Structure 1
Amino acid sequence: MSDLKNRTLTIEKTFNAPLQLVWDAWTQSEHIVKWWAPQGMDIKVIEHDFKVGGTWKYAMPMPDGNEFISEGTYKEIIALKKIVTSADFKPMTENVELQAHFEADGEKTKFTFSVIHATEAYCKQQEDMGFYNGWGSALERLDKTLETLTT
């Protein structure tokens, strides 16, 4: 097994919103549909059973009529601190682990998002395929969604 650091892609961001609001936006279906996909894309929540062992499944309609499916199973949930889930984004990314860490910083929230891959090579391939652009775009949408929820 290669070194964890070399198999992990991470984005750190500080949201100008309180911890509870950021947590809710990440964990509640009515908020997830507003930001989970990259800019310009829609998302449908098919399943969202937010508990350890629970599954989630979202569909993103594509211009060609097909749907891009993302799904996983929650492995660890520590309220207002951490979410760990398996994830498949078929057909582009499969068998990865998502880790979302939340930390209050006054009225802001420090957020660390990591995706752990099975191998270093797979990690590099995902980075080259646009990991930072794709997730960066979704997290920008989350930022804008949070602004509408705080005003």
Structure 2
Amino acid sequence: MITIKNTVNASLDKVWNFWNTPEHITKWSFASPDWHTPYAEADLREGGKFKSTMAAKDGSMSFDFGGEFTLVKPNEALSYVMGDGRKVEITFTETADGVEIIESFDPESQNPEEMQRAGWQAILDNFKNYAENN
């Protein structure tokens, strides 16, 4: 598994809400400014499905990112299985500096692990920026 993390200077309730609510997901879930997430849905319960569409702003390409939640512990942890069978585990822990988010995911085999780590970290960094400034 690849693990990334960041600490968000916001309340645990706010972090959980912004992480899981489609109206917020569309505002932070992309790795670079030339991409965006025009659509997101989430049935936040074990066995519930989620999907978001990530797209280049110039319309040149897009893809759906989705899967099924396998663990939902509000304000504490999420786990899910992506459509291709890879697993993701996320924890949310209150610290003196804010909420530490630790995200671990199975790598895919088409891109180098360092590239995957950088892309997922960029999305997590976007989340931090969005949650701290909205």
Normalised-by-shorter TM-score class:
0.7 to 0.9
Higher mean alpha-carbon deviation, 64-73 vs 53-62, is at 64-73
Normalising to structure 2: TM-score of the pair? Answer: 0.87
> What SS does the aligned partner of 1:34 have?
helix
Partner of 2:28: 35
**2:118 maps to which residue?**
133
* 8 A contact 2:25–2:40 mirrored in 1: no
- Tell me what 2:39 maps to: 45
Following superposition, the deviation at residue 67 of structure 1 comes to 2.2
Unaligned runs of 5+ residues in structure 1 are 1-7, 89-93
CA contact (8 A) 2:8 2:132 kept: no
Q: What do the CA deviations read for 1:25-61 (whole angstroms, capped 9, x no partner)? A: 1111111111111121110334321111111111122
| Structure-2 residue corresponding to 1:91 | none
Unaligned runs of 5+ in 2: none
- Aligned-residue offset at 1:125: 5.0
Deviation at 1:114, TM superposition (A): 0.3
Q: Aligned to 2:102, which of 82, 107, 112? A: 112
Tell me which stretches of 4 or more aligned residues in structure 1 moved more than 4 Å: 122-126
RMSD across aligned positions (CA): 2.0
| Aligned residue pairs, count | 132
1:81 aligns with 2:66: no
Taking structure 1 as the reference length, the TM-score comes to 0.78
**Separation in structure 1 between the aligned mates of residue 59 and residue 38 of structure 2, nearest angstrom:** 16
